[in-house]
Structure 1
Amino acid sequence: MWCPPTPPSSDGDVYCDTWARPLYRRGAAAESLLPGVTRRDGRGGAPGVAGRDPRRLRLAPRPAHAPPSMFERSAAGGGGVPRPRARPRAPLPHREPPQPEWAAGEDAALRRALRLQRLPPDAPQARAPNWDWVADLVNDVARAYRSPRACRDRHDVLADPERARRKHKKPIPARRRTDDD
């Protein structure tokens, strides 16, 4: 039984309370005080072969099977004729349903939300509009869900239509000049 240590009461006391002393004896315990030795037999059944538990019997070892070599050609491998492999199916193109056009009320809510943030016209990148909050205000009056990204793209279209058109076009690949000289 473990007890928290207490200060010794005398020189012979090694952190042992007086009430706990009868629990301990000096020296080894006598044989008569030890419990008897018992052997367990198999649970609920007759013992197996040679008195062993059938669950602990070792099976005869099987010979190891080496995998076929990739570098040796064998006749059993189909004569070297490769099998046609099944092509993986191409994923279907993910098409999103077209969003309805922006209504005048949604555009007005977008402008109002940006005005309420009181950002300067040439705001630095650190003072970008809170598009999540803008989308919440726009969605209060919208007939379809408008994501923060959709609100940002719509703002770009309203603020600078030419820049928005350039943003969505793919850049023309640059041609190399060949020098004839």
Structure 2
Amino acid sequence: MRARLPLRLARAAAFSVVCVGLGVFAHRFAGGTGPTPGALAIGGAAVMAVSAALAGRERSRATITGLLAAAQLFLHLLLGRAALPDGLPAPQHTHRLGVDVGMVAAHLVATLVTGWWLARGETAVWSLLRRLGASALRLLTPAAAPAPPRVPLPRLSAAPAPLTGRVLKHTLVRRGPPVLPAF
């Protein structure tokens, strides 16, 4: 099932809002400074463009988490360089192998939790769309009238077969009240 443009844009917008919102919140929480409006616009537009291009079909949890990690890395670099000076100096981030373990752990936890959350939403949206599509298809397709049940007609014979009065060899007669054991 492929997504058309309105659904692609809606899914891309949700992904972008979550990515940019998470990035802004994390930077405000970690450093007390926020990014400039221009940096937010550039970051949001870049994430929106990439996610709209990739929103054509349902994505797995691993793909969503990987894309989220890449978007977070991009936004971390962009928003870290474009911090608003509100009286406090912007925190200097060093982007080398010796990055603070706490920051890396925070990014990993945020990526995994948010990736899981977005993947659950992705599964729910596509499940809902499949159900709606199946219901619409059933409504639009004329149903064939059910065939009347075929009831076999009894055969008419000249005379019924005579009963011989014999009891079959392997029959068990259980007619009458149960026999009580004698004490």
TM-score, scaled to structure 1: 0.18
Between Structure 1 and Structure 2, which shows a larger proportion of helix residues?
A: 2
Higher relative contact order (CA 8 A, sep 6+): 2
Structure of higher CA gyration radius:
1
